[in-house]
Chain A
Amino acid sequence: MRKNLFNVGALMRGFSTTFSYMFKKMPTIQYPSVKKQHAPRFHGLHELRRYDDGKERCIGCELCAIACPANAITVIGAENTPEDRRSPGERYAARYEIDELRCIFCGLCEEACPTDAIVLTPRFEMADYRRGAFVYAKDRLLVPPEAGTGTPPDERPNGIPADLGGVMRAKDTVDIAEGYDATNRGHILRTQRRGLAALRQTQDEPR
């Protein structure tokens, strides 16, 4: 005890350390007003990209959903028809939902995608007061048609690309009830397993 209490040199070093730290440069970023430049391949919110002609890249193959270790992605595919071609392939994603609360932002969906449709963007500000709002459907994931193809991940500048899907605009108009439904994974997965036929069936049923 004596040794510790009367070790004046150690005390002085402590005091000089704290005093000198007063004049050091702070690493603080004044967050809402100043935003950090992220690495170009920062794993943030997802987006679904398009081809040059405006068609969706996603072909509804569900490989991302299979690759997803957190089981956060739900894809329900549907057949393209000659009158309504959404994607160049046979199928397109009728529903595409990512539960961002389950997502661990590992990027495996990005790697699994055969058409580079799903990519992760550097956008990370997803906070919301409503749990259901974290289930992102196509209305918020898909790049809007007027934004063109969207910047490919390899060509992104440091920071948030301007051409992301209209997430912020869409946020206030989200159908929360649908989000709550989607968080009920059991139901969705059952629907998914029954496949397209089942979905069609439920849609065709008279209400």
Chain B
Amino acid sequence: MSVSAIPIWIVVLIKSAVVLGVVITTFAYSMLAERKVMGWMQLRPGPNRVGPWGLLQPAADAVKMIFKEDLTPDTADPLIYRLAPFISLICAMGVFAIIPFSASADGTLWSVGNVNAGILFIFAIGSIGVYGISLAGWASGSKFPLLGSVRSTAQMISYELSMTMSVIGVLILTGSTALGDIVNAQLRLWFVIPQIIGFLIYVITAVAETNRAPFDLVEAETELVGGFHTEYSGLRFGLFFIAEYLNMITVSCLATLLFLGGWNSPIPGLPSGGFVGLGWFILKAAAFLFFYIWLRSTLPRFRYDRLMDFGWKVLLPVATLNLILTAVAVAVWPTHA
């Protein structure tokens, strides 16, 4: 029985299980890595009591989350309050269905599903994820979560525009929205070089989109006591946490695919397909994740009006300019057929 004879749904199921397992493990350890790296940057060792070098800390955290009481405030809308974390999580996980992690020599993508409009799918699902945060704050029936979710909605709308604009430059250069084509187009030159402005805007907006410091106004412990998840506890809070980190991983993978050449090796000539390609991919995504942590321990949080100013008055015009320049350049010197 050859591989192609296995029913497609079984193949997809197995692939999904593998990807989900890997992604959840990555989540657990990216959280530990964040605490460790931030600790080092602040001259402290970070978690180091559970297991060697604190390696079992994620397991300890998970056990703690599971056994904590799951509270629902009296004023909350019970159904939406309980549903919201799942919206966040499902959207965060759904994206991984189409992210290709590497490609075989014959060009087969290592992903669960291969969608032609891959990048559009990712943005669509990612945008729905905002509903999780917005509804969580709305349904909590309390003032700080509401403020957090209102902020989140405004911030998402402002930064999603610039983010999409910055990615369109890459799409123009490739002439395709399929992630496989985008990576293959970067065989000789990563798009980070011709699209350096787009890349910078993508990095900034990606941080804002995932509600991470210095754009974490949605959570903003100091002003909003945790923002949209103030009222959440136990496993539901954990789900939001997982969703946030999965979004970070998604955005890192996307940056790798769109700008950093995906599974192509940094130096042309080195092997890049198959498992070696997977290694390159992981390395690049991990570097991006490290940058996230580095950013968090370096910059203080934005003031809200500055965040809005920055999004609308700086990022959006620059992204538009970049888009126009790219379009003109491609029209004048067509590089692909």
Q: Do A and B bind each other?
A: yes
What CA separation (Å) do A5 and B42 show in the bound complex? 24
Query: Contact at A21–B45, with CB atoms within 8 Å?
Result: no
A86-113 contacts to B (CB < 8 Å): none
Q: Tell me the nearest residue of chain A to B48, going by C-beta.
A: A30
Query: Contact at B41–A15, with CB atoms within 8 Å?
Result: no
Chain B interface size, under 10 / 10 to 19 / 20 to 34 / 35 or more = 10 to 19
Chain A interface size, under 10 / 10 to 19 / 20 to 34 / 35 or more = 10 to 19
**CB-contact partner of A14 in B37, B48, B298, B314, under 8 A:** B298
CB distance from B336 to the nearest CB of A (A): 33
Whether A186 is near chain B, meaning CB under 8 Å from some CB there, is no
What CA separation (Å) do A26 and B43 show in the bound complex? 5
What CA separation (Å) do A1 and B41 show in the bound complex? 27
A residues neighboring B (CB under 8 Å): 1, 5, 11, 14-15, 17-19, 21-24, 26-28, 30
Whether B294 is near chain A, meaning CB under 8 Å from some CB there, is yes
- B residues less than 8 Å from A1 (CB atoms): 306, 309-310
Whether B6 is near chain A, meaning CB under 8 Å from some CB there, is no
- B residues less than 8 Å from A22 (CB atoms): 37, 40-41
A–B Cβ pairs within 8 angstroms, 7 of them: A15-B294, A18-B294, A21-B40, A22-B41, A23-B40, A28-B44, A30-B45
- B residues less than 8 Å from A19 (CB atoms): 41, 294
Would A14 and B43 be within 8 Å (CB), given that A1-B306, A5-B310, A22-B37 are in contact?
Answer: no
- A residues less than 8 Å from B267 (CB atoms): none
Query: Contact at A18–B310, with CB atoms within 8 Å?
Result: no
What CA separation (Å) do A86 and B126 show in the bound complex? 81
Q: Tell me the nearest residue of chain B to A23, going by C-beta.
A: B40
**CB-contact partner of B41 in A21, A28, A30, under 8 A:** A21
B residues neighboring A (CB under 8 Å): 37, 40-45, 48, 294, 297-299, 306, 309-310, 314
- B residues less than 8 Å from A5 (CB atoms): 310, 314
- B residues less than 8 Å from A30 (CB atoms): 45, 48
Query: Contact at B41–A14, with CB atoms within 8 Å?
Result: no
CB distance from A10 to the nearest CB of B (A): 11
Query: Contact at A14–B299, with CB atoms within 8 Å?
Result: yes
- B residues less than 8 Å from A27 (CB atoms): 43
CB distance from B317 to the nearest CB of A (A): 13
Interface centre among A14, A22, A30 (most CB of B within 10 A): A22
Q: Tell me the nearest residue of chain A to B302, going by C-beta.
A: A5
A18-B297, A21-B42, A22-B37 given; name 15 further pairs at CB < 8 Å: A1-B306, A1-B310, A5-B310, A11-B299, A14-B299, A15-B294, A19-B41, A22-B40, A24-B43, A26-B44, A27-B43, A28-B43, A28-B44, A30-B45, A30-B48
**CB-contact partner of A21 in B43, B299, B309, under 8 A:** B43
CB distance from A55 to the nearest CB of B (A): 47
What CA separation (Å) do A28 and B46 show in the bound complex? 10
What CA separation (Å) do A36 and B299 show in the bound complex? 33
Query: Contact at B41–A26, with CB atoms within 8 Å?
Result: no
- A residues less than 8 Å from B44 (CB atoms): 26, 28
